[in-house]
Structure 1
């Protein structure tokens, strides 16, 4: 049994269709090692800004919605921030959810995938894996981190047979180059556990948070992708036998 019973969270919410199958109870934890230029939740970057809660408190809140999310074919998603920055807390929540018969999903960049032990992953029904770019230099410029840990984690999830939904944020001028997208599609098509690829058009809805926090939003003037560009990228993934939407 894990001994950690507290963690730092930003909030919780309900969502449908974007954080895993069905209607989900979504737990936003605080703390993230990356600084993605398009991040919509800069208010979750720092652990110190989170509210400390116990696992029991989280489960009590989930309990209020259990019948609803179960009837809607959903479950619980732990997201952030980066849940694997608090692996003991995240693991404890996932374990309690599994014990309660709830479908579990982990939303992660995979950058800290080495911190997810086999026990945590055994309690995870689905991983929402955010792969920011398949170009090493572009990944570093976009996130401040390295790509290799995420690819290692993706390979490990395949080895363990854990289903994955890939999330790929499409940013014009930064993640739309055909070559790296084809490279990523080839990599993913070599895995046996990728159920789908979600191509997510870049947006600026998080810009007011940057202003409130006094942080420059470097992509403020970046346009949202045209529908034709989004469809082109989806078709690139489809060409490699992947279900993309």
Structure 2
């Protein structure tokens, strides 16, 4: 809530000479530069339609199945201005609009750079007229300002497990911040697509799936659930980084197992794909 200004004095004092902005004021300005891993055009996996996707560097989670471990460290990204990203996206706006798409800010974890992420979303939406999406784990949801969320049309929210011990084993972090962010999005009426990765022997327990499904259905703003079969396409990146890929021996789920997981979400009235 904005505080009311005190009444002006009866005899105004002489205005002081203009001075440079204070450090505190300067700190509130949106930085023009962020740490960016890459950008790409994608269809069907980063939100509806064909989308311009900006992948930011840095992530507080260390998911065992991550297919982009090269995005974990912010210092490994390229310092890139918002102008550069918007200029690149502008080249494709007519094509994107015709394809019913938009722009997505992903990662890594974009809320590790919330001010830069907010600037990109604002400019994508208001300058380029694009549908906007935020792809996030929700762990840093408290960093998303109301202004950032107003400029976000859709949140792609990863709920990686309902069982708390499994979630921590999988990500290295607790689940509760994600659930709190999900409830905040529900209170705001913000459209959400939930993403759930099905990993045999890790997230495929029926009670675990049921927990995610029941929670998602309780929110009232989840319009789609993506049940994503675990894959090993990122294993080579782990090897290149000298990191052991601990899920090397884990099988990919069968089509039947994936169908059963989707059915659990559908049973709660959710649109699962």
What TM-score does the superposition give when structure 1 sets the normalisation length? 0.99
The answer for the alignment partner of 1:220 in structure 2 is 248
- Aligned partner of 1:40 in structure 2 is 67
CA distance in 1 between partners of 2:67 and 2:254 (Å): 20
Which secondary structure state, in structure 1, belongs to the residue aligned with residue 252 of structure 2? coil
* Larger-Rg structure: 2
Q: How does 1:9-28 map to 2 (within 5 A)?
A: 9-28=36-55
The separation in 1 between residues aligned to 2:189 and 2:80, in whole angstroms, is 32
How far does the alpha carbon of each residue in 1:156-213 deviate from its partner, in whole angstroms, 9 at most, with x for none?
A: 0010011000000000000000012111111111111100100000000001101111
Partner of 2:221: 193
Task: Select which of 145, 161, 180 maps to 1:117.
Answer: 145
Deviation at 1:22, TM superposition (A): 0.5
2:220 aligns to what SS in structure 1? coil
Q: Secondary structure at the match of 2:91?
A: helix
1:139 aligned onto 2:171: no
Task: Output the CA distance in 2 between the equivalents of 1:66 and 1:186.
Answer: 38
Distance in 2, matches of 1:64 and 1:157, equals: 32
Instruction: Write out per-residue CA displacement over residues 95-118 of structure 1, whole angstroms, 9 at most, x where no aligned residue.
Output: 001112110000000000000010
Q: How far, CA to CA, are the matches of 1:3 and 1:151 in structure 2? A: 28
Q: CA deviation at 1:3?
A: 2.1
Helix, strand or coil: the match of 2:111? helix
1:74 counterpart residue number: 101
Distance 1:47 1:91 in 2: 17
Q: Deviations over 1:101-159 (max 9, x none)?
A: 11000000000000001000000000000011000000000000010000000000010
Q: Distance in 2 between matches of 1:126 and 1:195?
A: 10
Segments of 4+ moved more than 4 angstroms: none
Q: What is the aligned residue count? A: 245
TM-score, normalized by length of structure 2? 0.89
Are residue 65 (structure 1) and residue 92 (structure 2) matched?
yes
Unaligned runs of at least 5 residues, structure 2: 1-27
- The partner residue of 1:233 within 244, 261, 269 is 261
Q: 1:52 aligns with which of 79, 82, 101?
A: 79
Does structure 2 retain, via aligned residues, the 8 Å contact 1:45–1:81?
yes
